[in-house]
């Protein structure tokens, strides 16, 4: 009997899920997206976060490569101009505990490029290799019952139409209506939690100044420990010799949308390096603002009843403060769980959907804890206050970060976790524990760890007189 799967959303989670389903032998895989999908790496309306800096962590990329090895995503992205950045040597990072050193040893890497390039590369590769059809359509509900989803309802000019399916994936992102859709099937009482630090992101793209093509990725991280709004800035190299410069500020510390204010904001940070770098650079866009950055968790896996034939992946299950760069990797981990469960039991196995949700929830929870334990500390945060466990985790992470300013063992534990190659328990392995207990063997750095050449370059680029 011929089987059909429908995926709601052609973003990252949706295209990866579609690739998995087609690889699992589903006869017909249809991806529905309400957006007009561009033919090339261009920004689109349905992906407003695409205007802002996106880091693809090593763990997320590895999950994508495992899922569909034939796609060679890393190779495709690098060929299209993405950058591979070593966390141990290719980055200047000012943390709340001081500057991290740069080490000669290679650590994990991350990929940087525009989100438009990333999404298009994944979509293009999946469509080239897998028998998947993408259609433009807005889903407005589910069909079936609380015991089994049987398809979706799609908006149409003359009234909604129905599309039947043996399996439905909701990958419609942070704006999903899944809770309402489930209520339409009689499933209510889904627990949801929101922690909103009021984060606003402001991003502007610049041409990389001549000679600065190899300047390290630069981050001034927000500080959640001083009872002040968090303020951060990042200069991220992307394709076509451009820098994407993203600022982030929590409630009371929001970055402005005007170009002069944008530069002033970077210069008022604990280190003005970002402002100095961009002060003479040629802007290629205006400043784009985004406000939808709260942490939202839908505890679908805890629902007393769950319909067969329906799973939820990516941002639709949980979204996190983007400063930790986790969302895309979590979307890939979810697709990997779907792949594992499908190869174990097949598409129609009873309870499959619930097992996928539970498996996916584990990586969602790890990312959620990392983001929320920090966000809860900002003044004027809306959500729950930190509990004892949050305070213990924070105290330990802080100690580890302080040690990481001068200890490779501590720094590499943090990089492994941030790059999502290993679970957060990596921080409690004996070498990491010892490093946290003994602290940094080296004195704190008094400024960014620049090479003499980079220092000279920065001086040449600086038009601020700071």
**Element spanning 364, H or E:** helix 352-375
Shortest reach from residue 462's CB to ligand FAD, in Å: 27
What is the C-alpha to C-alpha distance for residues 333 and 64, in angstroms, rounded to an integer?
8
- Inter-residue contact 126 to 68 (CB < 8 Å): yes
Using only C-alpha atoms, the chain has a radius of gyration, in whole angstroms, of 22
Indicate the residue among 10 and 411 with the shorter CB distance to ligand FAD.
10
Q: How many residues bind ligand FAD (CB under 6 A)?
A: 37
327 vs 24: CA distance, rounded Å: 25
Q: Which of 18, 29, 32, 300 binds ligand FAD (CB under 6 A)?
A: 32
99 three-class SS: strand
What is the total residue count of the chain? 466
- Looking at 7-15, 142-150, 341-349, 353-361, which segment touches ligand FAD (CB under 6 A)? 7-15
Q: Does 54 bind ligand FAD (CB under 6 A)?
A: yes
| DSSP strands (E only) in 216-317 | 217-220, 231-238, 242-249, 288-290, 295-298, 310-312
- Taking CB under 6 A as the criterion, the residue among 88, 250, 290, 374 binding ligand FAD is 290
**Which of 24, 29, 47, 111 lies at the binding interface for ligand FAD (CB under 6 A)?**
47
Helix (H) or strand (E) holding 136, with range, is strand 132-136
C-beta of 47: minimal distance to ligand FAD in Å? 6
Nearer to ligand FAD, 45 or 385 (CB): 45
User: Should residue 107 be labelled a site residue for ligand FAD when binding is judged by CB under 6 A?
Assistant: no
Site for ligand FAD in 305-324 (CB under 6 A): 314-316, 322
Q: Please write down the HEC assignment for all residues of 156-170.
A: CCCCCEEEECCEEEE
Site for ligand FAD in 325-364 (CB under 6 A): 325-329, 331
Determine, following the binding rule CB under 6 A, whether residue 8 of this chain makes contact with ligand FAD: yes
Decide: 342 and 21 in contact? Cβ < 8 Å: yes
For Cα atoms 286, 289, 294, give the angle at the middle one, nearest 5 degrees: 160
- Which range touches ligand FAD (CB under 6 A), out of 83-91, 167-175, 181-189, 369-377? 167-175
Closer to ligand FAD at the Cβ: 233 or 410? 233
Our CB check for ligand FAD shows the closer of 123 and 276 to be: 123
From the DSSP assignment, how many helices (H) and strands (E) are in the chain?
13, 21
DSSP 51: G
* Binding test (CB under 6 A) with ligand FAD, winner from 3, 4, 28, 35: 35
Quick one: which of 22, 49, 121, 373 contacts ligand FAD (CB under 6 A)? Answer: 49
Binding mask 169-198 for ligand FAD (x = CB under 6 A): --xxx-x-----------------------
Return the range that interacts with ligand FAD (CB under 6 A); candidates 22-30, 41-49, 210-218, 425-433: 41-49
* H or E element that contains 86: strand 83-86
- When asked if residue 139 is in the footprint of ligand FAD (CB under 6 A), the reply is yes
Q: Which is nearer to ligand FAD, 40 or 443 (CB)?
A: 40
Task: Using CB under 6 A, pick the residue from 7, 13, 67, 200 that binds ligand FAD.
Answer: 13
Tokens 């610049």 belong to residue? 206
> Quick one: 291 or 455, whose CB is closer to ligand FAD?
291
Cα dist from 403 to 234, 320, 327, 414, 447, whole Å: 23, 26, 27, 10, 17
Helix (H) or strand (E) holding 206: strand 200-207
Q: How many CB atoms lie within 10 A of CB 383?
A: 15
- Measured from the CB atom, the residue of 46 and 383 that comes closer to ligand FAD is 46
Two tokens at 375? 């966000």
Stretch that binds ligand FAD, among 27-35, 253-261, 263-271, 441-449 (CB under 6 A): 27-35
201: contact with ligand FAD by CB under 6 A: yes
| By CB under 6 A, residue 383 contacts ligand FAD | no
Nearer to ligand FAD, 53 or 92 (CB): 53
440 part of the interface to ligand FAD, by CB under 6 A: no
**Interaction of residue 18 with ligand FAD, rule CB under 6 A:** no
| Smallest separation, CB 395 to ligand FAD (Å) | 26
Structural tokens at position 172: 């419609």
Q: How far is CA 412 from CA 276, 302, 424, in A?
A: 29, 35, 12
Per rule CB under 6 A, is residue 141 in the interface with ligand FAD?
A: no
Burial class (CB in 10 A: 0-12, 13-18, 19+), 447: exposed
Residues near ligand FAD (CB under 6 A): 8-14, 32-35, 46-47, 49, 52-55, 138-139, 171-173, 175, 201, 290, 293, 314-316, 322, 325-329, 331
């Amino acid at each position: 009997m011929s089987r059909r799967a429908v995926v709601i959303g052609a973003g990252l989670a949706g295209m990866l899920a579609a690739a998995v389903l087609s690889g699992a032998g589903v006869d017909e895989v249809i991806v529905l997206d309400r957006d007009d999908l561009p033919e090339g790496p261009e920004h689109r309306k349905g992906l407003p976060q695409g205007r802002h800096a996106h880091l693809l962590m090593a763990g997320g990329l590895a999950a994508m490569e495992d899922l569909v090895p034939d796609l060679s995503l890393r190779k495709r992205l690098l060929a299209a101009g993405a950058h591979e950045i070593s966390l141990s040597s290719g980055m200047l990072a000012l943390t709340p505990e001081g500057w991290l050193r740069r080490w000669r040893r290679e650590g994990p890497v991350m990929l940087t490029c525009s989100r438009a390039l990333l999404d298009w590369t994944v979509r293009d590769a999946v469509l080239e290799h897998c028998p998947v059809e993408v259609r433009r359509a807005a889903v407005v509900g589910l069909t079936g019952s609380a015991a089994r989803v049987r398809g979706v309802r799609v908006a149409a000019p003359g009234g909604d139409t129905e599309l039947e399916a043996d399996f439905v994936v909701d990958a419609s992102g942070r704006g999903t209506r899944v809770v309402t859709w489930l209520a339409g099937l009689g499933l209510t009482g889904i627990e949801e939690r929101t922690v909103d630090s009021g984060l606003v992101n402001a991003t502007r793209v610049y041409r990389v100044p001549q000679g600065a093509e190899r300047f390290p990725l630069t981050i001034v991280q927000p500080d959640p420990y001083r009872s002040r709004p968090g303020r951060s800035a990042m200069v991220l190299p992307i394709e076509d010799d451009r820098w994407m410069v993203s600022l982030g500020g929590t409630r009371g510390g929001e970055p402005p949308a005007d170009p002069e204010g944008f530069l002033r904001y970077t210069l008022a940070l604990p280190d003005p390096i970002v402002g100095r770098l961009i002060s003479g650079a040629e802007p290629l866009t205006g400043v784009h603002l985004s406000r939808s950055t709260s942490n939202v968790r839908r505890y679908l896996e805890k629902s007393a009843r769950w319909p067969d034939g329906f799973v939820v992946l990516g941002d639709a299950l949980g979204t996190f403060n983007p400063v930790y760069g986790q969302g895309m990797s979590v979307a890939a981990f979810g697709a990997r769980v779907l792949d594992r469960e499908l190869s174990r039991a097949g598409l129609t196995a009873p309870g499959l959907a619930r097992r996928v949700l539970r498996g996916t929830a584990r990586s969602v929870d790890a990312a959620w804890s990392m983001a929320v334990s920090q966000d809860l500390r900002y003044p004027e945060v809306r959500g729950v206050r930190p509990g004892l466990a949050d305070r213990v985790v924070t105290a330990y992470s802080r100690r580890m970060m302080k040690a990481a300013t001068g200890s490779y063992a501590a720094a590499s534990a943090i990089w492994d976790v941030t790059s999502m190659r290993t679970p957060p328990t990596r921080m409690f392995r004996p070498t990491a524990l010892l490093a946290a207990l003994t602290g940094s063997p080296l004195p704190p750095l008094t400024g960014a760890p620049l090479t003499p050449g980079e220092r000279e370059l920065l001086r040449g680029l600086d038009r601020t007189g700071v």
